[in-house]
Amino acid sequence: MDPNSMEAAETQNINALYEAIASDPYIFDKADRIPFVNTPLHVAASTGQTRLAIEIRNLKPSLGLKLNRDALSPLHLAVLKGHSETMKGLIKLDKDLVRVKGREMLTPLHYAIETDDRVDILAEFLLACPESIEDLNARGETALHIAVKKCNVIALEVLMGGIRRIRKHRVKYIQDGRGNTILHTAVSTSMPNVNLPKRKPSSLSNMM
């Protein structure tokens, strides 16, 4: 789509948003009361309407944490649809959106590792929210475990670079629900060298 046409359409949608609010000031509150619902923020994020998504999130911050019936947050949808600018816009407003857990406790960071064409956002996520590298899914897996299991070399390189930058080396030794570190997982999947030290330090706290 032509960028000018897209901007015009988004401006029109923002105007329509405020018309809806003028008609019903509780429009966001109604959506927020439903446990699992596809909110206007979900729609804006999934369609890559960055300005509209930012506008809605600014007006009603709690919608950023809301899960739809598929247990996906707006940021999850932006990741799945590949809308990088929308992802960046949302995490600038709230870095903790990176840590929202949806279906099977998967975060947007976890979803970004599933395919090679989403790894461009990994560095952005880690820079905005370094703590997200330690988040576990329902199987007790970190983002590193997922990258190794998927044999996603590019994602693994980005994650390792992020770990070195934010000094969270102990993440490499976290065991999943089956007691496997990423080294164990790498061996079982014939993954290339995951760049672990040859000998684990006696205390993980010394690595911080």
Q: Is 146 helix (H, G, I), strand (E, B) or coil?
A: helix
Burial group, residue 66, by CB count within 10 angstroms (0-12, 13-18, 19+): buried
Domain ranges of the chain: 1-100, 104-208
8-65 tens-digit pLDDT: 888 899 999 999 999 999 999 999 999 999 999 999 999 999 999 999 999 999 999 9
CATH superfamily, domain at 1-100: Ankyrin repeat-containing domain (1.25.40.20)
CATH architecture of residue range(s) 104-208:
Alpha Horseshoe (1.25)
91-139 tens-digit pLDDT: 999 999 999 999 999 999 999 998 767 777 998 999 999 999 999 999 9
Are the folds of 1-100 and 104-208 the same?
yes
Whether residue 174 contacts residue 135, with contact meaning beta carbons closer than 8 Å, is answered with no
153-169 tens-digit pLDDT: 888 888 888 888 878 78
Backbone dihedral region for residue 159 (phi beyond 0: left; psi -120 to 50: alpha; all else: beta): alpha
